[in-house]
Amino acid sequence: MTKHHFPLIRSLGLSRISSGIRCLLLCLLICQNLPGQELTPSHETRTWRDKTGTYSVKAVFAGISESGVELMKSNGERIVVPINMLSPQDQKFLQDLQSKATNPFEKGAMPSSAAKPTDAPNKTSDLHGKGLEILSPDHEAAVLSAEGREIFTKSDEDLPPLAPGGEEIRAPWSAFVKGMPKYDPYTKRSAPVILSKDELNFAFSAHRESNAVADEEFGRIYMFRQGKHHEELLLDLPHTLKIVDHHIASDTTLVVVGLDNNSQRGGDLALLRGLASGKPDALVRWRVPGWDRAGFKPKVEFAKLISDRVAIVRVNDTVYKWDLASGECAYQVTKLNASGKIKLSPNGRYLALPESRMCRLVDLEEGIVLGRIPFEKLTPEVGFSPDGKRIALVGGSQVVIWNLVSGELEKEITVGAHIGKFHGWPSNNHILVDHAGLIDLDLGMAIWSYYLPTEIPLLVLDGGVIQMDLHSNSAIYSLPVPHDQALRALKVLDGRSASQLLALKPGSDVRIEVSSDEDIDFAAMEAGLKKAAQSAGWRVSPNAQVVLTARIGRGEKQTLHFRSLLSSYFDPGEKVKIRPFTAEVQIRQGNNLLWSRSETNMVPSLIHLKNGEKLKQVVKRYEKADPEYFERLWIPSKILSPDAKQKIGRSRNANGSWKDF
């Protein structure tokens, strides 16, 4: 009974190993008790496989490094694979190579070894001001290297204990309301970036391409200083420019110049310096790999400066670690999950790669995958805590808090509402999400719901958020999170026991009831509902006071219009009538509704007809009940009591202050 979301075509409508263990492993697998010998590179191209047999690559053996075996592809790219992740055949190949090891004392020859990429500055490429003219459209920029060593990420190992990911630099929060320049809907704005750790000074960009509505085209950077009510225009260019990050310690800003307004594709990366001082200058400009390919231009999906010259940048499905002074690439991670939003630890060392049912962590200093954090279902959104000691994974109604230092799952929280977008950490003990609101990690529950539009990412600080209003007022607000009313509610909730807060928790008893007016397999409904309850950690008892009910019904009659993919838009197509089935689940305690979910089984918008099939035949296949739906149903294991729910309020921004409702 899942509601499908398809493009409409209807008309009208591998783990890190400690240095000691690594050395021991190398001795056992390669040296065979012959100390002092190293493996020389081989000129033989062969197929290398991982120990599961799932992944393979054609490459030449290039040497052994501290991180594992180094392989070189035909295009010159280098990858490093931990030796314990290779197939037994490949590990034996390395052992056999030992007999061919170079004698380092013969003919003065030294064994070759692969150089480890480094962030050491290129002395011939020191950054200095070159003037804003390098930002002009006719400036010929060089292309950033795409030849960095590829990091092997397909690890099935759990994440080991790690050093903290560094503390995030955050400006002290303060409340304000500031007006912004008004623009038409075709103007795009960047998220605000903090410019100072001592004062709440920040900047944002606005850019627009000319179109049929207006010829105006520009890229502008505005700065707001703490204590001043009006913005300063720092940069006004006759072409597009977008801020993507700012490095506070060096006052260096990373921007994209010349990007397409609608798709946000194309454009070059450029470094500015002096934004915080109010006098920006351009240091360097680079084209990104693939800039000259036909078709869709490359898109900068993510970019973070980890020093005044080194940036972690995602272009399409590849992450690069670039030295923007020399243009060299130290590492790259390829073939990323399209829906996963990568995140970087505060110190820029750990790269989080979310994908289906997990999140992998990569060490960008060592150039190795560290391991993975499991996550039930979905591709999670992730974020590091301000102190860099924990990482949150959120998705669906689940929150997982992983302690990087201990290498263990610290908390697993289930909230009653769908979480939605992950905004960030207002403190080391709270996370802020779109629908569920502010989640207190000690209590393990949402304590207040904040309505926060998500057209532009929020800037989350200690104790508050900065939010842009692009609609009625064209203003920027700094609001407290949590605010006074939420703090009072937190104080009340914090003083209560789990038995007072929760109507249901793991170990609670529930009674099951199923019903329908249709000819349904009630045994399948009851079995599915029982499995869902047990998955939540509850016990099914015929005498329980809390009742878990399921009902299958029918919706209203609907007329659907379909047309062929190759037909004209004006083709009326074919009409089909359907009365969909519905499924509803409720949890009640007396007269109190504790939780509910309802679904309708609709027809997909895209249907493939086999030879001889009629549209009506195919559509009718979807017009049926699905009692097994309840077996697939996910129910939160902890459900608040009605009294606790009343303490949790909701707020929305009303011209710079929270209005509770």
pLDDT digits (tens, 9 = 90+) for 504-525: 888 999 999 999 988 888 999 9
Residue 260 or 85, more confident: 260
Q: What pLDDT was estimated at residue 533?
A: 93
pLDDT at 239 over 60: yes
Q: What pLDDT was estimated at residue 498?
A: 64
pTM of the model: 0.70
Give CA–CA dist 424/413, Å, rounded: 16
Residues contacting 579, CB < 8 A, separation 6+: 554, 555, 556, 557, 558, 623
Number of H helices, E strands in the chain: 8, 46
When mean pLDDT is compared across 286-290, 526-530, 640-644, the lowest value belongs to 640-644
Instruction: Give percent above pLDDT 90 in the chain.
Output: 45
Helix (H, G, I), strand (E, B) or coil at 211: coil
Residue 196 or 68, more confident: 196
Q: How open is the CA angle 527-529-534, to the nearest 5 degrees?
A: 95
The mean predicted confidence, pLDDT, of the chain is 83
Mean pLDDT of 415-422: 81
For 568, phi and psi rounded to 5 degrees?
A: -70, 150
Q: What pLDDT was estimated at residue 566?
A: 67
pLDDT at 426 over 50: yes
13 falls in which pLDDT band (50, 70, 90)?
Answer: very low
Take residue 610 and report the two structure tokens written for it: 């086999």
Start-to-end CA distance of the chain, whole Å, equals 33
331 falls in which pLDDT band (50, 70, 90)?
Answer: very high
Q: 49 - beta bridge partners?
A: 56
pLDDT at 72 over 90: no
CATH class for the region spanning 19-108: mainly beta
Give CA–CA dist 92/86, Å, rounded: 10
Residue 200 or 648, more confident: 200
Give CA–CA dist 548/533, Å, rounded: 8
pLDDT at 487 over 60: yes
Instruction: Give percent above pLDDT 70 in the chain.
Output: 86
| Nearest in space to 435 (alpha carbons), one of 490, 395, 386, 492 | 395
When mean pLDDT is compared across 85-99, 226-240, 421-435, the lowest value belongs to 85-99
Instruction: Specify whether the CB–CB gap between 268 and 285 falls below 8 A.
Output: yes
User: Are domains 19-108 and 506-637 of this chain identical in fold?
Assistant: no
Mean pLDDT of 226-255: 94
Q: Which fold has domain 506-637?
A: Double Stranded RNA Binding Domain (3.30.160)
Q: What pLDDT was estimated at residue 472?
A: 63
Longest dimension (CA), the chain: 91
Pairing assessment for the beta strands 329-333 and 149-151 based on DSSP bridges: parallel
Boundaries of every domain in the chain: 19-108, 415-500, 506-637
Q: What pLDDT was estimated at residue 278?
A: 93
Mean pLDDT of 535-540: 92
Residue 492 or 379, more confident: 379
Q: What pLDDT was estimated at residue 549?
A: 95
Q: What pLDDT was estimated at residue 390?
A: 98
Residue 391 or 633, more confident: 391
Q: What pLDDT was estimated at residue 350?
A: 97
Give CA–CA dist 314/301, Å, rounded: 5
Q: What pLDDT was estimated at residue 65?
A: 65
Mean pLDDT of 86-108: 63
Take residue 522 and report the two structure tokens written for it: 């009630």
98 falls in which pLDDT band (50, 70, 90)?
Answer: low
Mean pLDDT of 637-661: 85
When mean pLDDT is compared across 227-241, 377-391, 635-649, the lowest value belongs to 635-649
Pairing assessment for the beta strands 546-554 and 310-315 based on DSSP bridges: unpaired
pLDDT at 233 over 80: yes
